[in-house]
Amino acid sequence: MSTEPVAYVTCGHPEVRDPDLELALATFARLGVPAEAVDWADPAVDWSRFGLALVRSPWDYIARREEFLAWARRVSALTVLANPAPVLEHNTDKTYLWELAEAGVAVVPTVWVAPGGELSADAAPWPELVVKPTVSSGARDTVRTTDRAEAVAHVKALTDAGRTAMVQPYLPMVEEEGETSLLFLGGRFSHAVRRGPMLVGRTTFEDVAREPAADQLALAEQVLAAVPERDALLYARVDLVRTADGAPVLIELELTEPRLFLGHHPEAAERLVRAAAAARR
């Protein structure tokens, strides 16, 4: 087995804090796997000295996605990148949800508006709307509103800037049951977390461990089965919510830089470290 170090890829932004970083690095050390946190945008880094570049929290890339993807392609020529560069390129644009819906996956209903288009009068017939760009993270550039004129205006602002907009119904179940995030490490289901809503006017939410229901686990497996690179995924997070009829639907499939909630399961950090160690060149 390789003894080369693992690069835990993060970012140097002073306001970015990775809740998984400390536990992950401590677990690498405990298991005797050399690892260090590395800023993806640091031009002085010699990526060839690492046996694996593990993409974890490069959370400042959104404003410079093309630079980030160029970095991923460059690093892929020097060492193993997890997840692989083609996965990162595809997953950082939420139009992948349209492809999953076309493949038969239950996805939150979505209206897509490309640059040059507009939100038509008969589209998105829901009482409360969420409007966001297809390239974003968290709730950045996202609007939740019952005012259709506001939704139309936000769509126009996004498309005028050359961005594709996505319009979805706001699902009240996120405030009741919350989102369920299912975490997969090393190709296997690891643990699940109940996450609080992001668009309800609060700034802090309690994320707690949750045992997923059978229908949630089945949908998560269906989602991942539709990913062509499934076998190459070192980590994945499948975010689900229930609709008014109780059925689970996919909100997002996070294959780029999801928080993995390693502290929410006693074996999660070790599972990640062992999968990373085995993936080294």
Residue 152 pLDDT greater than 70, yes or no: yes
C-alpha to C-alpha distance for 276 and 37, rounded to whole angstroms: 14
Q: How confident is the model at residue 172 (pLDDT cuts 50, 70, 90)?
A: confident
Q: Measured between alpha carbons, how far is residue 273 from residues 23, 61, 184, 189, 267 in Å? A: 11, 24, 13, 15, 10
Tell me the average pLDDT of the chain: 94
Residue 115 pLDDT greater than 70, yes or no: yes
C-alpha to C-alpha distance for 260 and 171, rounded to whole angstroms: 24
Q: How confident is the model at residue 224 (pLDDT cuts 50, 70, 90)?
A: very high
Q: Measured between alpha carbons, how far is residue 131 from residues 68, 118, 142, 144, 165 in Å? A: 25, 13, 6, 7, 7
Give residue 201's pLDDT: 53
Residue 256 pLDDT greater than 80, yes or no: yes
pTM: 0.94
Q: Provide mean pLDDT across the span 147-167.
A: 96
Residue 242's DSSP bridge partners are: 248
Phi–psi pair at 183, nearest 5 degrees: -105, 130
Give residue 204's pLDDT: 47
C-alpha to C-alpha distance for 92 and 84, rounded to whole angstroms: 12
Residue 203 pLDDT greater than 50, yes or no: no
The edge-to-edge listing of strands for the beta sheet with 235-242 is: 208-209, 188-195, 179-185, 235-242, 248-254
Residue 192's DSSP bridge partners are: 182
